[in-house]
Amino acid sequence: MISEPELVGEDGPVPSTPQGPAPAVEPGPHGERWARRPWLWALGGALVASALWAGGLYAYQAAGPDLGGYRTSDDLCGDARLTALGAALGKRDPSTQGLDQHDVHEALDQTRCSVMFGTAEPSFSVDLAYQLHKKTDPGPEFEPLTTADSWEDWEWKPVAGVGERAFFAQDDAGYASLTVLDGQAVLSLTVSMQMEYGPEEEPPLEPDYSAMDGVKGLMVKDMKALMAGLRT
């Protein structure tokens, strides 16, 4: 019997056994034997890692997006104190407090309400809307939906420091609106001047809209307070 030759180094024979575990040997169809290739184990590990990643993604999707602490509002006008607007526009009319529309769905909660300010001419209507998206991201559609040309003379301008993104628009006819995106929440606040006249009366030719001067800062302040309240 002839043995395999040994490699001889400076310090003596070098063992022919390789470092680490020997590759697994499997019989072939005709009795021959070959070593299992290491890349098969690597492929199996990649498949397991892919399956674990897919499972984690499914679990994340099933749990839904992070709502950032926002809750559903059962009384939006009650949550909205509107103290800044009230100080400038007049006393809040308590008879309009309960004018809420509230719809709860597993994917989207929607709430709207209106409240009046002022006891003399002119009075002011304040309309609020709140959407909490519980399944999908409202971000990509926020700007086009907000700045759609629903009012020809409205120019929507970005507002810094309110949520993730915000837009404000005001015309010269007694209307102003602020819309905010903050994570999964979309909120809007609209102020409009109200002047009453009978069916046989003509509206004033030159209404005084000076009461709407500086309303943007008041709306931003009240919006921030509402957002903080909806996260508690």
Contact of 219 with 189, CB cutoff 8 Å: yes
Contact of 189 with 227, CB cutoff 8 Å: no
pLDDT given for residue 147 in this prediction: 86
Question: How far apart, in whole angstroms, are the C-alpha atoms of residue 60 and residue 125?
Answer: 42
Q: Residue 218 CB: number of other CB atoms within 10 A? A: 22
* pTM score of the predicted model: 0.70
Nearest Cα to Cα of residue 223 among 198, 192, 193, 186:
186
pLDDT given for residue 1 in this prediction: 47
pLDDT given for residue 24 in this prediction: 52
Percent of the chain past pLDDT 90, that is, above it, reads: 50
Nearest Cα to Cα of residue 74 among 108, 107, 106, 113:
113
Least confident of 35-44, 91-100, 162-171: 35-44
